[in-house]
Amino acid sequence: MKVIDHINNAKETIFSFEILPPLKGQNIGEIYQTIDSLMEYNPPFVNVTYHREEVVYKQMPGGLLEQKVIKKRPGTVGICAAIQNKYKIDAVPHILCGGFNREDTENALIDLNFLGIENVLALRGDCIKGETYFKAEKDGHAFAADLVKQIYEMNEGVYLDEELQNRTPSNFCVGVAGYPEKHFEAPSLNNDIAHMKAKIDAGAEYITTQLFFDNEKYFKYVEKCRAAGITVPIIPGIKPIATKKHLSILPHFFHVDLPDDLVTAVEACNDNKEVRQVGIEWAINQCKELKKAGVPVLHFYSMGKVDNIQSIAREVF
């Protein structure tokens, strides 16, 4: 079933979460353990991230450096198929602009459609580590709105090869990412929302937000989106803080602010066990307020560890 149908058919707030593909060389068992531990909260869909290639430089005999492109977490398509087959719930793979040209994108979508996967989250993606700005692949997409457009053209039976015979329309529901505190590259929140409107106009059916720790920022973001004519569901993304290092890591990598009360509580902790409990309690309060406000879904970013998400879900669902 499509994510938008799950939302429209739900009588109360849905529980969902995101998982990381295993590192190269590992197997799917860890993912199964993660999903098994959260199935009691009846997630109708699970997001599966995709991580673009990384560039590393290895020193060769003679001192010269050789550039190598590596992928640390392969297997998103196969993982999604395995999840749907084993758990009978919908998997939502991430589809990126970064690292893909339009033909690569079409081939990935053909595979997903063949496997009966009806949902994708369309993202521009980050730039390659070491590069300052995002660079699109040759004949690739520079913006998520253009990626959404390509997906919906396939939904209408329009493929890149105009001479392709027996073209069957795909049937994807497309979600996109939103940023309550604005995308870090956007000059303003209003400008960022204008770009969001372009993604919705291209065919996106729902928004999943970046993690945040202040519900007021989410509520104001929704209000601004509605004022801009964006009517699709806006799913809040939740990530419980778990270590003292998160005080610097989360603002650095996700460009989010942490409320002073949360920072003070974390700094007062003696160890990360105490920090983890502070993060759980903060997220429980966040989620209860969001659920009371009638959000369509509470979507959790697991980052591979879910015991704290279990504790939160136990109190909220």
pLDDT for 55 equals 53
- For residues 266-274, average pLDDT: 97
pLDDT for 68 equals 59
Q: Select the more confidently predicted residue: 182 or 304.
A: 182
- For residues 18-35, average pLDDT: 84
pLDDT for 130 equals 65
Amino acid letter for position 83? I
Cβ-count burial of 297 within 10 angstroms (0-12 exposed, 13-18 middle, 19+ buried)?
Answer: buried
pLDDT band at 28 (very low <50, low <70, confident <90, very high): confident
pLDDT for 65 equals 65
pLDDT for 132 equals 73
- Any idea which of 51-60, 80-89, 236-245 has the lowest mean pLDDT? 51-60
Q: How far is 109 from 104, CA to CA, in rounded Å?
A: 9
pLDDT band at 303 (very low <50, low <70, confident <90, very high): confident
Please give the mean pLDDT across all residues of the chain. Answer: 91
Q: How far is 64 from 148, CA to CA, in rounded Å?
A: 41
CA-to-CA dists, residue 248 to 214, 236, 255, 273, angstroms? 17, 22, 10, 18
pLDDT digits (tens, 9 = 90+) for 89-131: 999 999 999 889 999 999 999 999 999 999 999 999 876 766 7
Q: Residue 257 pLDDT > 80, yes or no?
A: yes
- Any idea which of 21-25, 252-256, 263-267 has the lowest mean pLDDT? 21-25
Report the percent of the chain where pLDDT is more than 90.
78
pLDDT digits (tens, 9 = 90+) for 30-40: 899 999 999 99
- For residues 56-84, average pLDDT: 72
- For residues 42-68, average pLDDT: 73
Q: How far is 128 from 136, CA to CA, in rounded Å?
A: 10
pLDDT band at 167 (very low <50, low <70, confident <90, very high): confident
Q: Do 82 and 28 meet the contact criterion of CB atoms below 8 Å apart?
A: yes
pLDDT for 26 equals 74
Sorted by sequence, the CB contacts under 8 Å of residue 255 that are 6+ apart come out as 181, 183, 184
pLDDT band at 272 (very low <50, low <70, confident <90, very high): very high
- For residues 202-207, average pLDDT: 98
Residue 300, SS3 per DSSP: strand
pLDDT band at 302 (very low <50, low <70, confident <90, very high): confident
- For residues 264-277, average pLDDT: 97
pLDDT band at 166 (very low <50, low <70, confident <90, very high): confident
- For residues 149-177, average pLDDT: 91
